[in-house]
Structure 1
Amino acid sequence: MRVGLSWLREHVDLPADISAADLEQALVGLGIEVDSVADLRASVTGGLVVGRVLTVEELTGFKKPIRFCTVDVGAANGTGQPQEIVCGASNFAPGDLVVVILPGGVLPGGFEIGARKTYGHMSAGMITSARELGLGDDHDGIIVLPPDTTGAPGDDARAIVGLDDVLVEVEITPDRGYAMSVRGIARELALALGLPFRDPALVPSPRATAEPAYPVDVRDPIGCDRFAARAVRGVDPAAATPAFMVRRLTQAGIRTISLPVDITNYLMLELGQPMHAFDLDRLRGPLVVRRATPGEKLTTLDGAKRTLDAEDMVICDDSGPISLAAVMGGETSEVHVGTTDVLFEAAHWDPVMVGRTARRHKLFSEAAKRWERGVDPALPLVALERAVALLTTHGGGTTGDEILDFDAVRPRTPVDMAVDLPTRRVGVVYEPARVVGLLEAVGCTVTVDGDRLSAVPPTWRPDLTDPADLVEEVVRLDGYDKVPGRLPLAPAGRGLTDTQRRRRSVARALAETGNVEVLSYPFVGTPALDALGIPDDDPRRALVRLANPLSDEEPYLRTTLLPPLLATLRRNVGRGARDLSLYEVGVVFQAHAGAGAPPVMSVDERPADSVFAAADAVVPEQPWHVAVVMAGEVEPTGWWAGGRPATWADAVQAARTVLDTAGIPEERVSVRSAAVAPWHPGRCAAIAVDDVVVGWAGELHPSVVRALDLPKRTAAVELDLDALPAAPVTPAPRVSGFPPALIDVALVVGEGVPAADVRQAIVAGAGDLLESVRLFDVYASEQLGSGRKSLAYKLTFRAPDRTLTVEEAVAARDAAVAEAANRFGATLRGA
Structure 2
Amino acid sequence: MNWLADLVPGATELSATKAGDAERLAAELASIGLEEEELFGPEITGPLVVARVLELEPEKHSNGKTVNWCRVDTGEAEPRGIVCGAHNFAAGDLVVAALPGAVLPGDFRIAARKTYGHVSDGMICSARELGLGDDHDGIIVLADLGLSGEAGDDATVLLGLDQHTLDVNVTPDRGYEYSIRGVAREYAGLKGIPFTDPAAVDVPDAASLPDAVAVTLADDAPIHDVPGCDRFAVRIVRGLDATTPTPYWMRHRLLQAGMRSISLIVDVTNYVMLETGQPLHGYDADLLHGGITVRRARSGETLTTLDDKTRTLDPEDLLITDSGGDRILGMAGVMGGADTEVGDDTSAVAIEAAHFEPVTVARTSRRHRLSSEASRRYERGVDHALAPHAAELAVRLLVRYGGGSADDAATDVDERIPAAPVRMALGLPAAIVGVDYSEDDVVRLLEATGTRVEREGDELALTAPSWRQDLVRPVDYVEEVARLGGYSSIPSVLPSARKGTGLTASQRYRRNASNLLADLGITEVLTYPFTSAGRHDDFQLDSDDPRRFNFRLANPIADDQPLMRTSLLATLVDAAVRNIGRGNKDVAVFETGLVTVPVERTVRKAPRYAPGYFPSDDERAAVFDAVPPQPRHLAAVLTGRLDAAGWWGPGRPADAHDAIELTRRLAGVAGVDAIVESADRAPFHPGRCARVTLPSGAEFGYAGELHPKVCESLDLPARTVAFEVNLDVVTAEPSATKDTGVLSTYPAATQDIALIVGRDVPAAHVTEALRDGAGDLLETVHLFDLYEGEQVGEYRKSLAYRLTFRAPDRTLTADEATRARQAAAEQAIARFGAEVRGA
The question of a shared fold, defined as TM-score above 0.5 by the shorter chain, is answered with: yes
Q: Does residue 478 of structure 2 align to residue 475 of structure 1?
A: no
Q: Retained in 1: the 8 A contact 2:780–2:803?
A: yes
Q: Does residue 728 of structure 2 align to residue 722 of structure 1?
A: yes
Deviations, residues 27-80 of structure 1 (Å, cap 9, x unaligned): 12211112244553xx42211234689789999999xxx996666753268752
Deviations, residues 408-443 of structure 1 (Å, cap 9, x unaligned): 332233211112211222222323233222222211
Residues 735, 489 of structure 1: alpha-carbon distance in 2 compared, 3 angstrom cutoff: closer
Residues 228, 524 of structure 1: alpha-carbon distance in 2 compared, 3 angstrom cutoff: farther
Task: Determine helix, strand or coil for the equivalent of 2:258.
Answer: coil
Residues 262, 583 of structure 1: alpha-carbon distance in 2 compared, 3 angstrom cutoff: same
Aligned to 2:832: 823
Deviation at residue 235 of structure 1 after TM alignment: 1.4
Deviation at residue 656 of structure 1 after TM alignment: 1.1
Bigger mean CA offset, 809-818 vs 140-149? 809-818
Aligned to 1:408: 415
Q: Does residue 40 of structure 2 align to residue 44 of structure 1?
A: no
What code does the residue aligned with 2:415 have? A
Residues 786, 255 of structure 1: alpha-carbon distance in 2 compared, 3 angstrom cutoff: farther
Deviation at residue 721 of structure 1 after TM alignment: 2.0
Residues 82, 694 of structure 1: alpha-carbon distance in 2 compared, 3 angstrom cutoff: same
Give the Cα–Cα distance (whole angstroms) in 1 for the partners of residues 509 and 533 of structure 2.
Answer: 32
Deviations, residues 764-798 of structure 1 (Å, cap 9, x unaligned): 789999876655677889x9999969677574778
Partner residue of 1:148 out of 146, 149, 152:
146
What code does the residue aligned with 2:34 have? I
Q: Retained in 1: the 8 A contact 2:52–2:73?
A: no
Give the Cα–Cα distance (whole angstroms) in 1 for the partners of residues 366 and 796 of structure 2.
Answer: 58
Give the Cα–Cα distance (whole angstroms) in 1 for the partners of residues 115 and 579 of structure 2.
Answer: 44
Residues 529, 384 of structure 1: alpha-carbon distance in 2 compared, 3 angstrom cutoff: farther
Give the Cα–Cα distance (whole angstroms) in 2 for the partners of residues 283 and 709 of structure 1.
Answer: 58
Give the Cα–Cα distance (whole angstroms) in 1 for the partners of residues 379 and 610 of structure 2.
Answer: 23
Bigger mean CA offset, 357-366 vs 68-77? 68-77
Partner residue of 2:275 out of 264, 270, 275:
270
Task: Determine helix, strand or coil for the equivalent of 1:627.
Answer: strand
Residues 391, 59 of structure 1: alpha-carbon distance in 2 compared, 3 angstrom cutoff: farther
Deviation at residue 624 of structure 1 after TM alignment: 3.3
What code does the residue aligned with 1:172 have? V
Aligned to 1:33: 35
What code does the residue aligned with 1:688 have? T
Residues 530, 120 of structure 1: alpha-carbon distance in 2 compared, 3 angstrom cutoff: farther
Q: After TM superposition, list the pairs within 5 Å mapping 1:424-823 onto structure 2.
A: 424-493=431-500, 495-522=502-529, 560-588=567-595, 597=606, 617=625, 623-636=631-644, 644-664=652-672, 666=673, 669-676=674-681, 678-679=683-684, 681-690=686-695, 691-700=697-706, 713-724=719-730, 725=733, 726-734=736-744, 750=759, 752-760=760-768, 774=782, 795=802, 819=828, 823=832
Aligned to 1:188: 186
Q: Retained in 1: the 8 A contact 2:284–2:342?
A: yes
Give the Cα–Cα distance (whole angstroms) in 1 for the partners of residues 491 and 716 of structure 2.
Answer: 55
Q: Retained in 2: the 8 A contact 1:8–1:182?
A: no
Give the Cα–Cα distance (whole angstroms) in 1 for the partners of residues 658 and 297 of structure 2.
Answer: 53
Q: Does residue 169 of structure 2 align to residue 159 of structure 1?
A: no
Deviation at residue 200 of structure 1 after TM alignment: 1.0
Q: Retained in 1: the 8 A contact 2:752–2:800?
A: no
Q: Retained in 1: the 8 A contact 2:37–2:169?
A: yes
Task: Determine helix, strand or coil for the equivalent of 1:9.
Answer: helix
Q: Retained in 1: the 8 A contact 2:316–2:360?
A: yes
Q: Retained in 2: the 8 A contact 1:350–1:371?
A: yes
Task: Determine helix, strand or coil for the equivalent of 1:584.
Answer: strand
User: What RMSD in Å do the two structures reach over aligned CA positions?
Assistant: 4.7
Give the Cα–Cα distance (whole angstroms) in 1 for the partners of residues 659 and 430 of structure 2.
Answer: 58
Residues 254, 342 of structure 1: alpha-carbon distance in 2 compared, 3 angstrom cutoff: same
Deviations, residues 482-513 of structure 1 (Å, cap 9, x unaligned): 22222233222254333222121111001112
Aligned to 2:103: 106
Q: After TM superposition, list the pairs within 5 Å mapping 1:118-133 onto structure 2.
A: 125=122
Give the Cα–Cα distance (whole angstroms) in 2 for the partners of residues 381 and 676 of structure 1.
Answer: 67
Partner residue of 1:206 out of 204, 209, 214:
204
Deviations, residues 1-52 of structure 1 (Å, cap 9, x unaligned): xxx3344334442114773343223212211112244553xx4221123468
Q: Retained in 2: the 8 A contact 1:6–1:166?
A: no
Aligned to 1:236: 241
Deviation at residue 178 of structure 1 after TM alignment: 0.7
Residues 576, 423 of structure 1: alpha-carbon distance in 2 compared, 3 angstrom cutoff: same
What code does the residue aligned with 1:266 have? Y
Partner residue of 1:176 out of 174, 183, 189:
174
Partner residue of 1:23 out of 25, 45, 49:
25
What code does the residue aligned with 1:32 have? L
Give the Cα–Cα distance (whole angstroms) in 2 for the partners of residues 433 and 811 of structure 1.
Answer: 83
Q: Retained in 2: the 8 A contact 1:738–1:803?
A: no
Aligned to 1:312: 317
Q: Retained in 1: the 8 A contact 2:51–2:75?
A: no
Give the Cα–Cα distance (whole angstroms) in 2 for the partners of residues 686 and 513 of structure 1.
Answer: 23
Task: Determine helix, strand or coil for the equivalent of 1:476.
Answer: helix
Give the Cα–Cα distance (whole angstroms) in 2 for the partners of residues 767 and 118 of structure 1.
Answer: 100
Q: Structure 1: 5+ residue runs without aligned partners?
A: none
Give the Cα–Cα distance (whole angstroms) in 1 for the partners of residues 738 and 295 of structure 2.
Answer: 64
What code does the residue aligned with 1:472 have? E
Deviation at residue 608 of structure 1 after TM alignment: 6.6
**Matched positions, count:** 808
Give the Cα–Cα distance (whole angstroms) in 2 for the partners of residues 115 and 786 of structure 1.
Answer: 100
Aligned to 2:18: none
Partner residue of 2:355 out of 348, 353, 356:
348
Give the Cα–Cα distance (whole angstroms) in 1 for the partners of residues 233 and 628 of structure 2.
Answer: 45
Q: Retained in 2: the 8 A contact 1:628–1:717?
A: yes
Deviation at residue 121 of structure 1 after TM alignment: 9.3
Residues 460, 797 of structure 1: alpha-carbon distance in 2 compared, 3 angstrom cutoff: closer
Task: Determine helix, strand or coil for the equivalent of 1:170.
Answer: strand
Residues 567, 132 of structure 1: alpha-carbon distance in 2 compared, 3 angstrom cutoff: farther
Q: Retained in 1: the 8 A contact 2:788–2:798?
A: no
Q: Does residue 218 of structure 2 align to residue 219 of structure 1?
A: yes
Task: Determine helix, strand or coil for the equivalent of 1:409.
Answer: coil
Bigger mean CA offset, 818-827 vs 310-319? 818-827
Residues 351, 698 of structure 1: alpha-carbon distance in 2 compared, 3 angstrom cutoff: farther
Share of identical aligned residues, percent? 44
Give the Cα–Cα distance (whole angstroms) in 2 for the partners of residues 663 and 815 of structure 1.
Answer: 22
Aligned to 1:375: 382
Deviation at residue 172 of structure 1 after TM alignment: 0.5
Aligned to 2:395: 388
Q: Retained in 1: the 8 A contact 2:297–2:315?
A: yes
What code does the residue aligned with 2:704 have? G
Give the Cα–Cα distance (whole angstroms) in 2 for the partners of residues 335 and 603 of structure 1.
Answer: 39
Bigger mean CA offset, 126-135 vs 429-438? 126-135
What code does the residue aligned with 1:47 have? P
Give the Cα–Cα distance (whole angstroms) in 2 for the partners of residues 417 and 490 of structure 1.
Answer: 31
Give the Cα–Cα distance (whole angstroms) in 2 for the partners of residues 644 and 217 of structure 1.
Answer: 76
TM-score (norm 2): 0.82
Q: Retained in 1: the 8 A contact 2:51–2:74?
A: no
Deviations, residues 329-382 of structure 1 (Å, cap 9, x unaligned): 344432223332222222222222222333333333222221221111222211
